Amino acid sequence: MAHLQHFGWFFGRGFGPQGWGRPDYRWNYEWQKPAIYQQSVRELEQAGFDLLIIEDALSLGSPETLNLRVNSAYGGPKHDPLMLAPYLFDVTSHLGVAPTVNAGAYPPYLAARQFATLQHLSSNRFGVNVVTDVKSARHFGLAELGHDAAYDRAEEWLGGIRRLWHSWGEGAHVNDAATGAFADASKLDAFHHEGEYFRFDGPLNALPFERHDGDPTIVSPGGSGRGLGFAGGNSDVQLALAPLSVAAVTAYRAKIHAAAVAHGRTPADINILFVIKPEIVASEEEVERIVAATRHPGDDVLREILAAQSSDLETDLTVLDLDRPIGPGVFGQHVSQGTINNLVGADGDIQTDTLRQIATRKACKGRISDKTGFVGTAKQFADFFEELGDSADNDGFIINGDLHPVTVHRMLDELVPVLRQRGILRDSFGGGGLRANLTDF
C-alpha cells in the first residue's frame, strides 16, 4: 500500500552557470540573476516538494586543479547561496530552502544571527545544509583539520549557534505596548563560550523563535561513521547517498536511527532522504535506445567523465593510466568517503579495479526497472519509489539536478501526476514552515 513520501530538490551545480554545456543554456537566462531560480522554485512548490537544498563549494580548489573546476564550469564559479535564499522565499509560500554552509567559514555568532534573520523573514522556512569541507579553510585563515576533527568543530559550532538562538529565555520578549516594555534583560543569557575551536559571547542580537521547534531545519550529508553520528545527533534531514536497493536503504536507515537513539533522540526525529538523479523518458523503447547507446564508451567519453569526477574529488584523474587501478593514497584526506564511493560504485574496489573499469561503470546507463541504473519512464520511477516506501519504509527522495526550468520540467512533468495518482506525493501543504512540511506525515 503506497504511502506519502517527502520530496526535495538538490540544486546540484550550486549558484553557478545553470545549463552550461547543454542546449538549455541557450534559453538565455542570466544565472547570476534571480529570475531563473525564482521560476524554478515556483514549479517545485507547485509540484508539492518540501524543500530545496542548494549545493555550494567555497573554494575553486587547489592551484593544481583550478582548470578542472572552471574550464567546464563544473565546480565553479559559484555565488553565495545564502544571499539567494530571500529571493526564493519571496516567490514561494511553503517551500523550504536550505543553503549549504561550511561550519568553519561562518563564525557562530554571525551565523546564528543571519540564520535567525532568514528564519523570521521566511516564516520558518529556512534550513542549513551543514558541511565540513576543510580544504577551503585556507581562504579564511583557518587551520586545515582532519576528517573527524572537522566534525568536532561542526558539533561545537552548531551547539554554540543553538545556545545563541535560545539566549533569550522564556518571557524575555515582553512586547507590552501598554507598559512600554519590549524585553526583559534579566532573562537574557549573557554567556561566554570558550571552546576548542570558537570563542564568543551571548546573548544573540536577534529575536527568539516562538517555540523551540521553530529553529531552522538542520540538513547534513556524510556517509562516514563520524558523518552518520553527526546526523544522528543533530540533523532533521539526512541527505543520504547509498545504493538504492531495498536492502541498502534499510541498512542505511538502521545506522542513522541507531545514531539518533545513541544521542537521546528517536528515529522519527530525522527524515532520511536518498539522493537520486533520474533520467525520465516517454517510452520503454526510448529507455532501451539510451541504455544501448552507452554500452561501449570510447576513451573520449571516459576522459570526459573523469574530468567531471576530478572536480568533485579535487584530484586530476585524467592524467592517470586508464588501465591501472587508482590505488590508495591518490586522494587527499579531506576527500569524503562518500564522494570516493560515488566514483567507484557499490561493487567496485579502488585498489583492484582499473580506472577504465570504474569510468566505464559511470558511463554505462541502466534501467530503473531492473535496478541497473536510473533511466526509465515516469511509471517505472513511480514503481521504484513505491517499492522503497513499502519495503524499506523510506521517508523520501532528493532529486539532483540544475535549478533550471528546463531541467525541472524534464524531470517532473510526467512524474508528478503519476506520483500523486499513487498517493506517494503530496498535493497540498499543511502550513507552518519547513519543519511542518517534514512532520505533516
Cα–Cα dist 286/4, whole Å: 29
Record the pTM: 0.94
Tens digits of residue pLDDT in 251-305: 999 999 999 999 999 999 999 999 999 999 999 999 999 999 999 999 999 998 9
One CATH from 2.50.20.10, 2.130.10.30, 3.40.50.980, 3.20.20.30 for 6-284+375-439 = 3.20.20.30
Pairing of strands 173-176, 127-131: unpaired
- Any idea which residue has 576513451 for its cell? 299
Positive or negative torsion for Cα 92, 94, 100, 101: positive
Residue ranges for the chain with pLDDT beneath 50:
none
Q: Are 133 and 172 in contact (CB under 8 A)?
A: no
Domain positions in the chain: 6-284+375-439, 295-363
Helices 225-234 and 147-165 pack at an angle, to 10 degrees, of 10
Cα–Cα dist 15/9, whole Å: 14
Q: What is the pLDDT of residue 333?
A: 65
Burial class (CB in 10 A: 0-12, 13-18, 19+), 42: middle
Q: Are 338 and 241 in contact (CB under 8 A)?
A: yes
Q: What is the pLDDT of residue 120?
A: 97
Buried residues in 229-255 as b, exposed as e (16+ CB within 10 A): bbbbbbbbbbbbbbebeeeebeebbeb
Q: What is the pLDDT of residue 65?
A: 76
Q: What is the pLDDT of residue 213?
A: 67
Q: Are 172 and 204 in contact (CB under 8 A)?
A: no
**DSSP tag of 207:** P
Tens digits of residue pLDDT in 298-356: 999 999 898 888 877 878 888 889 999 987 777 876 676 667 777 877 677 777 889 99
Q: What is the pLDDT of residue 141?
A: 85
- Any idea which residue has 557562530 for its cell? 108
Q: How many CB atoms lie within 10 A of CB 342?
A: 17
CA distance readout (Å), 247 to 193, 258, 275, 280: 44, 17, 16, 24
Q: For the chain, what's the residue count?
A: 441
Q: How many CB atoms lie within 10 A of CB 363?
A: 17
Burial class (CB in 10 A: 0-12, 13-18, 19+), 354: middle
Cell of residue 277, nine digits: 538523479
